[in-house]
Amino acid sequence: MCLRDAFEKEFSHYDMDGNRISKRSLPDSREFQVVKNFPTAKEMTDILLPLAKNIEFREFDFLKRWMVMYETV
């Protein structure tokens, strides 16, 4: 299961701009709405392509994190 699929199981909704909004609770019972977007490698590459070269996108499913590395042009 990819990172994006894992987070789809959490309660969330989408705003008018297509941002995924999830609720987070703190130990002191305060709750917050947070933006949780999970771009694909292609989406990140498309965004960076005008500004970067040697773009490398890595997902770390076990950490629920991703990383992108690139060189500026």
Mean pLDDT of 28-39: 90
Average pLDDT, the chain: 86
Q: Output the pLDDT for position 32.
A: 94
Mean pLDDT of 32-59: 92
Q: Output the pLDDT for position 71.
A: 97
Mean pLDDT of 53-59: 94
In this structure, which long-range contacts are made by residues 33-41, counting pairs with CB atoms below 8 Å and at least 24 apart in sequence? 36/7, 36/10, 36/12, 38/3, 38/4, 38/7, 38/66, 39/66, 40/4
Counting residues of the chain whose pLDDT is more than 90, the rounded percentage is 52
Q: Output the pLDDT for position 61.
A: 85
